[in-house]
Structure 1
Amino acid sequence: MLLETLRCENGRVFHLPYHQARLDRSLKTLDSLQRYELKSLIHPPEEGLYRCRFLYDEIGYTVEFHLYVPRVITSLKLIYDDTIEYSLKDSNREALNALFEQRGECDDILIVKNGLLTDTSIANIALWIEGKWLTPQTPLLEGTTRARLLEEGFLTPAPLRPEDIAKATKVAIFNAMVDFLEVESGIIP
């Protein structure tokens, strides 16, 4: 099944139009005529911070709410894999989990595909280089927070390579749950 992960806090769903747009694109990619209107299907708890998992396919959907406990990410390990594919946000994360297991002492991984930086196991990334936040022009997954930050002009897409890490003075990860978070220790080759 495909998946949308949405931040819900105190009864409010964050950045719903970006999730709806990705869901619609994903169904179109699958040549599905099915449509789901997230606004009418997601009713979060009135109190607390939750990670909403909207799982769907051409046949149906389920909605789950989980209290959100953020993962602490202070370091990323470069992992090289030219075959990884994750262009649709899928609930099957076996390939990503196998790469994540190679992180060693780091908190997460940063995947390099075909010589270019892509994503961590759970987030898109950005590097602060020469006064601007650059994000990989070819991520594994075009995240909803990435789409919003690009639209706002906060991020600039660029073909980032591992050697560009040395030029960066800051590194950040971002997804629907953490929004935009700088990684303190950086990237370990």
Structure 2
Amino acid sequence: MSLLFETIKCQNRQLHNLHYHNYRVRWSLENLLGITDDFDFENTIEIPDWVGEGLYRCRVSYGEKISKVEFFEYEFKHPKVIQIDNYQSFKYDFKYEDRNGFQNLLKLHPQADDVIIAQNGLLTDATYANLAFFDGTKWFTPNTYLLLGTKRAYLLDNQLLTEEAIAVKDLKKFKRIALINAMRDLDLSYEFEVNNNIILIK
């Protein structure tokens, strides 16, 4: 049974950030299923011959064992409208295959390209990414995140991000937003303005 999944960046036939993906899988298996396993994607993923030198998304579905490995060509999507929604009870501390909660949020806001979840007035994550905000000098990420993101962990470990509580009302002090995940880094960021809990990308 597939319960969880990982998305791994594959560029020029190289898998990226495997140390952090391995850590999250081990952490998830131990905390969710009670399995302690020296898991290593380096020894379990074979890149198909048809995968070329461009950018691909590798999706690994797993439970107690890996059930499926898929590769997809990847193109960046650029949001224009991001809704901020207060959803106190929302949890996504494991990277579940079941993402109905996120899909339902998106359906509530058909005018938006993405939704950022706020809890107790504090920002957490967007539906498909952790958050980062630039104040003109440094990048910051909410310490009230939902999911232990692999790119987020890498950026924090390399002191490219600083954790702090970020309230909705704090957004006016930032100049740029980045939606960071396995496929997206800080170099893909946007100027924005906020109007009535809506982030408008300039």
Normalised TM-score (structure 2): 0.86
Deviations along 1:117-166, whole A, 9 cap, x unmatched? Answer: 01111111112236221100020111100000000111110011100111
Aligned-pair distance for 1:10?
A: 2.0
TM-score of the superposed pair, with normalisation by structure 1? 0.92
The percentage of counterpart residues that share the same residue type is: 35
Q: 1:29 to 1:166 in 2, by over 3 A?
A: same
Cα distance change of structure 1 residues 92 and 187 upon mapping to structure 2, 3 Å threshold: farther
Q: How far off its partner does 1:37 sit?
A: 2.1
Given the alignment of the two structures, is residue 179 of structure 1 paired with residue 181 of structure 2, yes or no? no
54, 59, 68: which is aligned to 2:60?
Answer: 54
> How far apart, in 1, do the equivalents of 2:176 and 2:59 lie?
30
CA contact (8 A) 1:88 1:141 kept: yes
Q: How many residues align?
A: 189
Q: 1:34 to 1:60 in 2, by over 3 A?
A: farther
Q: Which residue of 1 aligns with 2:24?
A: 22
1:17 partner amino acid: H
Once residues 91 and 27 of structure 2 are traced to their aligned partners in structure 1, the CA distance between those partners, rounded to angstroms, is 17
Runs of 4+ more than 6 Å apart: none
- Counterpart Cα distance in 2 of 1:177 and 1:18: 13
The answer on whether the counterparts of 2:178 and 2:185 sit within 8 Å (CA) in structure 1 is: no
Q: Does 1:108 pair with 2:114? A: yes
Partner of 1:140: 146
Question: How far apart are 1:39 and its partner, in Å?
Answer: 0.6
User: Which residue does the alignment assign to 1:38?
Assistant: 41
User: Which range moved further: 143-152 or 128-137?
Assistant: 128-137
Q: How many Å separate the matches in 1 of 2:83 and 2:20?
A: 29
Bigger CA drift: 58-67 or 77-86?
58-67
Task: Name the SS for the 1:61 alignment partner.
Answer: strand
Which stretch of the first structure deviates more once superposed, 132-141 or 56-65? 56-65
Structure 1 SS opposite 2:147: coil
Preserved contact between residue 132 and residue 179 of structure 2 (Cα < 8 Å): yes
Contact persistence 1:75–1:187 (CA under 8 A): no
State the secondary structure of the residue aligned to 1:122: coil
Matched residues in 1 for 2:96 and 2:13: separation? 25
Alpha-carbon offset, residue 186 of structure 1: 4.5
**Does the CA contact (< 8 Å) of 1:129 and 1:168 recur in 2?**
yes
Q: Aligned in 2, Cα 1:187/1:9: closer, same or farther, shift over 3 Å?
A: farther
Root-mean-square deviation (Å): 1.7
How far apart, in 2, do the equivalents of 1:150 and 1:34 lie?
25
Q: 1:113 to 1:15 in 2, by over 3 A?
A: same
Q: What is the match of residue 128 of structure 1?
A: 134
